[in-house]
Amino acid sequence: MAKLPRQSFTTEFREQAVRLITEDKLSVPEAARRLSLSAKTLANWVYKARAGQLGEVGKSRQPVSDLEAEISRLKRELAEAKLERDLLKKAAAYFASESMRGTRS
């Protein structure tokens, strides 16, 4: 599978994300879920912010185009939909086999 392009976030976005944790007292996983990004990424930002180095994060990366970001988002959605589909297939097979147990053949 091809590697997804890394997303590039603005400094303002990073600062607001860190404020959710430091000022609004949200947990890292909850804030990451609300912002649709990795909890590890957000934890790194908080660590860098506490060290006073948040402005240095991401300076060496190339910005991701809008098209690449959209492709990345769609790939995540597709993977989630496939997981849900597989779970529903297994559940349907389980309930079908359960309903067949009570019938005569």
- Residue whose C-alpha is closest to residue 62's, from 2, 1, 4, 6: 6
Look at 34-38, 45-49, 57-61, 84-88 and tell me which has the smallest mean pLDDT.
57-61
Task: Over range 30-37, report the average pLDDT.
Answer: 86
pLDDT of residue 60: 59
Q: How far is the C-alpha of 57 from the C-alpha of 63, rounded, in Å?
A: 13
pTM above 0.75, yes or no: no
CA–CA separation, 5 and 64 (whole Å):
7
With H, G, I as helix, E, B as strand and everything else as coil, classify residue 7. Answer: coil
CA neighbours within 13 Å on the CB side: how many for 71?
Answer: 10
SS3 102: coil
